[in-house]
């Protein structure tokens, strides 16, 4: 059953459902046609109104998009807005990577003979645009605000690959932009979409032999597994990322970022020694000289190590050192200047978890409430997902009205 049929079965017109969700009727129409999908903030209430759980709603929302793809594949098919469909763009990239990958295996002179040369200035323009989009992304309070322009830039890059058959330079650009596309999907709680983007970024970066870029794409993919509790899979991916990173630029922080995420995976597996060794390796980023990151696909400079160490210790049940590290993170320049709402919210949520484990209701409410406000302001699914972890034990607080109110507010956050 599609979304429109479910809406009608529940007795809602488009107008009534739109009013209940606080959106325009035309927005509901676009959702039902598969042109757009609801933002995370609307999904919990939408699932409740349609008597679905979030997983069922997610499946239902993919149906019009699947029909759209089938229509695109048909010579007589038509699908409004299909030119901007993320799945179509990724499918085209898969095709392009399959065909251009062969060129990277050819000798340099043979590849040049086959490829239409792309002017160096054009490649520089792509890199400059990617750098600009990363800066806008980092500054944006609502990350989804740049989704459309990233999608359009992917389309432009598709055209360049199709026309030029250039391999290395454009594949490197693609590996960069696809990581940003994956970050946007992650922030919007579309984790399968994020995984697809990171997979493509891995393929493109590998074709370009851009080792640092390649390793970072794998780290982002592994972080999805860490985020969803698949720690063994994450550790396996990160081992590969490490082997690639050590072939990259030793002046960059790539391998130290790999180590920091390895620490999170080892913490999830409960291997204290491996976690501590990985944290120590990550800490060595402080020994590097000069700029260690590029502010885009590589942003690890060690400034986030306190909150990452704290999160690892929370997983390992080491609450006192976890609290010390997290509180130190909250007063650091990187977080107090508002440079990362997501990171600040994550640190606050972890401090709330500590309050929960200690049965300290004031700590739970103070830090949980602050994290909740950041999640509401930014629409960050990352913060919301961490807050959801608190709710499993809320029942043990009995009839505490304040905890019940926090529970209810977290419950309407957009987490898939």
CATH number at residue 29: 1.10.260.40
Q: Rounded mean pLDDT of 8-31? A: 86
pLDDT of residue 1: 56
Give the model's pLDDT for residue 341: 81
Tell whether the torsion through CA atoms of 325, 330, 331 and 334 is positive or negative: positive
The number of beta carbons lying within 10 Å of the beta carbon of residue 262 is 27
Tell me if 331 is assigned to some domain.
no
Mean pLDDT of 366-379: 89
Residues constituting the chain: 416
| 387 close to 396: Cβ distance less than 8 angstroms | no
Alpha-carbon distances of 248 from 136, 261, 404, 414, rounded to whole Å: 27, 18, 50, 38
94 found inside a domain: no
pLDDT at residue 63, as a whole number: 52
pLDDT for residue 43: 79
Q: What number is the average pLDDT over the span 256-279?
A: 97
353 assigned to some structural domain: no
d(CA 297, CA 275): 24
Total tally of structural domains belonging to the chain: 2
pLDDT for 93? 54
Tell whether 380 is covered by a domain. no
pLDDT in tens, 271-290: 999 999 999 999 999 999 88
Q: Is the pLDDT score of 14 beyond 60? A: yes
Examine residue 29 and state whether it is found in any structural domain, yes or no. Answer: yes
Give, in order, the Cα–Cα distances in Å from 213 to each of 175, 310, 332, 346: 7, 27, 28, 25
More confident site: 380 or 253: 253
From 302, 318, 341, give the residue that closes a domain.
302
Cα–Cα distance for residue pair 184/193, rounded to 1 Å: 9
Residue 396 burial (C-beta neighbours within 10 Å; 0-12, 13-18, 19+)? exposed
Helix (H, G, I), strand (E, B) or coil at 106: coil
Residue of 292 and 62 predicted with greater confidence: 292
Among the residue ranges 13-17, 112-116, 300-304, 312-316, the one predicted with the least confidence is: 112-116
> SS3 of 171, please?
helix
Report the C-alpha gap between 51 and 11 in whole angstroms. Answer: 12
Asked if residue 210 has pLDDT above 70, the reply is: yes
> How many whole angstroms separate alpha carbon 394 and alpha carbon 371?
16
Domain annotation covers residue 275: yes
Q: Across residues 389-410, what is the average pLDDT?
A: 85
User: Domain end: 282, 302, 322, which one?
Assistant: 302
SS3 344: helix
Instruction: Decide: 265 and 238 in contact? Cβ < 8 Å.
Output: yes
Question: In 105-167, where does DSSP find H-type helix?
Answer: 108-114, 120-139, 147-164
Residues whose CB is less than 8 angstroms from the CB of residue 213 and which lie 6 or more positions away in sequence, other chains included: 172, 175, 176, 179, 201, 205, 297, 298
Which residue range forms the structural domain that includes residue 79? 3-83
Q: Is residue 59 part of a domain?
A: yes
Q: What average pLDDT does the structure give for the chain?
A: 81
Inside any domain, residue 340: no
- Enter the DSSP assignment of 392: T
**Cα distance between residue 66 and residue 62, in whole Å:** 6
- Quick one: CA dihedral 357, 361, 367, 373, positive or negative? positive
More confident residue, 53 or 164: 53
How far apart, in whole angstroms, are the C-alpha atoms of residue 221 and residue 239? 12
Rounded distance, CA 71 to CA 76, Å? 8
pLDDT (0 to 100) of residue 231? 94
Average pLDDT of the residues in 376-381: 78
Q: How many CA atoms lie within 13 A of 262 on its CB side?
A: 27
Backbone angles phi, psi at 79, to 5 degrees: -150, 110
Q: How far is CA 343 from CA 220, 304, 347, in A?
A: 15, 8, 6
Domain stops at, among 83, 108, 137: 83
Q: Decide if pLDDT at 373 tops 50.
A: yes
């Amino acid at each position: 059953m599609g979304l429109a049929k479910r809406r009608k079965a529940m007795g809602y017109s488009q107008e009534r459902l739109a009013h209940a969700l606080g959106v325009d009727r035309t927005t509901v129409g676009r959702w039902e046609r598969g042109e757009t999908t609801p933002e995370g903030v609307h999904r919990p209430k939408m699932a409740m109104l349609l008597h679905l759980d979030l997983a069922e709603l997610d499946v239902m929302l993919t149906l019009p998009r699947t029909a759209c793809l089938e229509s695109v594949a048909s010579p007589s098919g038509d699908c409004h807005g299909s030119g901007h469909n993320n799945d179509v763009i990724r499918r085209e990239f898969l095709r392009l990577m399959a065909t251009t990958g062969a060129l990277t295996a050819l000798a340099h002179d043979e590849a040049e003979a086959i490829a239409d040369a792309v002017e160096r200035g054009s490649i520089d323009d792509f890199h400059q645009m990617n750098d600009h989009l990363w800066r806008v992304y980092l500054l944006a309070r609502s990350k989804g605000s740049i989704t459309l322009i990233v999608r359009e830039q992917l389309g432009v890059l598709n055209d360049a690959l199709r026309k030029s058959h250039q391999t290395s330079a454009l594949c490197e650009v693609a590996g960069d932009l696809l990581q940003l596309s994956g970050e946007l999907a992650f922030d919007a709680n579309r984790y399968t979409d994020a995984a697809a983007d990171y997979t493509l970024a891995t393929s493109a970066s590998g074709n370009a032999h851009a080792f640092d870029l390649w390793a970072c794409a794998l780290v982002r993919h592994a972080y999805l597994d860490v985020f969803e509790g698949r720690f063994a899979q994450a550790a396996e991916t990160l081992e590969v990322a490490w082997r690639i990173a050590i072939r990259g630029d030793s002046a960059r922080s790539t391998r130290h970022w790999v180590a920091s995420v390895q620490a999170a995976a080892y913490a999830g597996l409960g291997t204290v020694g491996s976690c501590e060794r990985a944290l120590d390796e990550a800490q060595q980023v402080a020994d590097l000289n000069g700029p260690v990151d590029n502010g885009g696909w590589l942003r690890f400079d060690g400034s986030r190590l306190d909150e990452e160490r704290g999160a690892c210790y929370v997983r390992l049940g080491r609450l006192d050192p976890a609290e010390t590290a997290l509180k130190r993170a909250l007063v650091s320049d990187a977080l107090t200047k508002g440079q990362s709402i997501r990171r600040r919210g994550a640190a606050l949520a972890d401090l709330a978890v500590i309050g929960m484990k200690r049965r300290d209701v004031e700590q739970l409410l103070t830090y949980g409430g602050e994290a909740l406000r950041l999640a509401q302001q930014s629409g960050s699914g990352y913060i919301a997902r961490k807050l959801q972890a608190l709710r499993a034990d809320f029942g043990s607080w009995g009839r505490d009205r304040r905890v019940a109110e926090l529970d209810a507010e977290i419950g309407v956050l957009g987490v898939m």
